[in-house]
């Protein structure tokens, strides 16, 4: 196994949660959703885990002060690409694989993440995106592939055309990167999009244009990839966990 570092993106306010708490601090069965992500990460034995924080970060830093994580601040919050860039100073001497996860996708298991990492290493990829097919792709970024099935780019919903909006394969916000490829690509990401943000997803198209191997690994574990943006989704995830416990 090559060296592994993990970056968990946890800076969001979670406006749609209708609460002033940081989104990842909302509880699922009595535990902040972020704890579920960090527990899965622990099982991968990374060299280091970096937690990118923004809104009310002191709450989170205090709660996780005993955990094996380093805290990174993202101020202001200018998108996922900008968030990962904030971790660069901590990884200057790191060479290996960087796993980037969203702190609001709490059901992802260590098993699924291991499969993603194995696939990434077997294909000697510069980047591998974890994807899934959803009947209702909603607000997720769409995976655009060519006729050979190779991933060309990820299009965010707000920037997608009507054809792209029909795509059912979506980005889960989970990526494996070669460390050098990641920061080289991030330096070229621009904020020319509907949100005027620096999207991490743009790195795939940048790396592909450089002729580097860009892959998507599609999981069939649909429920593991649920991202939480609303109180309803929080309740749905609690139901799934309770169902798993009862099974």
Assess whether 57 carries a catalytic annotation. no
Burial class for 242, CB neighbours closer than 10 Å (0-12, 13-18, 19+): exposed
DSSP string of 106-160?
A: TT--HHHHHHHHHHHHHTT-SEEEEEEE-SS-TTSPEEEE-TTS-EEEEE-GGG-
Out of 16, 142, 145, 208, pick the active-site residue: 16
Residue indicated by tokens 């309770």: 242
CB atoms within 10 A of CB 139: 11
Taking the C-alpha atoms of residue 145 and residue 207, their distance in angstroms, rounded to an integer, is 15
Structure tokens at 204: 């795939």
**Residues annotated catalytic, as ranges:** 16
């Amino acid at each position: 196994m090559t060296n592994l570092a993990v970056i968990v993106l946890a800076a969001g306010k979670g406006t749609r949660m209708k609460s002033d708490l940081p989104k990842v601090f909302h509880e699922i069965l009595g535990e902040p959703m972020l704890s579920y992500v960090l527990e899965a990460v622990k099982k991968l034995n990374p060299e280091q885990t970096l937690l990118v924080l923004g809104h009310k970060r002191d709450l989170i830093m205090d709660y996780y002060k005993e955990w094996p994580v380093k805290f990174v601040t993202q101020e202001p919050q200018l998108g996922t690409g900008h968030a990962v860039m904030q971790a660069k100073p901590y990884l200057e001497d790191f060479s290996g694989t960087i796993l980037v996860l969203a702190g609001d996708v709490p059901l992802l298991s260590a098993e699924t993440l291991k499969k993603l990492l194995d696939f990434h290493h077997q294909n000697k990829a510069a980047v591998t995106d974890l994807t899934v097919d959803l009947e209702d792709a909603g607000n997720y970024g769409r995976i655009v592939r060519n006729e050979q099935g190779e991933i060309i780019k990820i299009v965010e919903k707000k920037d997608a055309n009507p054809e792209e909006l029909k795509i059912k394969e979506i980005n889960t916000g989970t990526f494996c990167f070669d460390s050098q490829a990641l920061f080289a690509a991030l330096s070229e990401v621009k904020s020319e999009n509907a949100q005027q943000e620096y999207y991490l997803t743009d790195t795939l198209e940048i790396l592909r244009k450089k002729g580097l191997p860009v892959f998507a690994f599609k999981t069939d574990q649909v429920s593991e990839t649920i991202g939480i943006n609303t109180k309803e989704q929080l309740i749905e995830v609690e139901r799934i966990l309770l169902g798993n416990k009862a099974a």
